[in-house]
Amino acid sequence: MTFAVSFVLLTSVFVYTMLHHMRAIDYPYLWYALLRIALISFVTAALAILIRKRGYLAHVFFGAIIGFGLAVAYVNLALNLKS
């Protein structure tokens, strides 16, 4: 559940941002990004399992908040390493 929430949220934000800035979908870059989104979502799900959150809403909120936070951290790290 946590993986699915995190994956759908991050993918939708990524696709929206791509459409907003590029006015089209760059499919090779989308597939490249989906691998990283899946990894971030997997880490989020693993953290949820370790913390043992119970209940449907706990998994939804955990996937949305922690998944988005990990994505922001990944982007900041990638930008800092690039410059």
> What span, in angstroms and rounded, lies between the C-alpha atoms of 49 and 59?
10
pLDDT in tens, 30-83: 899 999 999 999 998 888 888 776 777 878 888 888 888 888 888 888 778 776
Fill in the amino acid letter for 2. T
Spatial separation of the C-alpha atoms in residues 36 and 17, rounded to whole Å: 16
Q: Look up residue 24 and give its two tokens.
A: 């089209």
> Tokens 């209940």 — which residue?
55
pLDDT tens per residue, range 2-41:
888 889 999 988 988 888 888 888 899 889 999 999 999 9
Name the residue ranges covered by the structural domains of the chain.
2-82
9 close to 59: Cβ distance less than 8 angstroms: no
Q: pTM of the prediction? A: 0.78
CA distances from 30 to 24, 25, 61, 83 (A): 11, 7, 25, 23
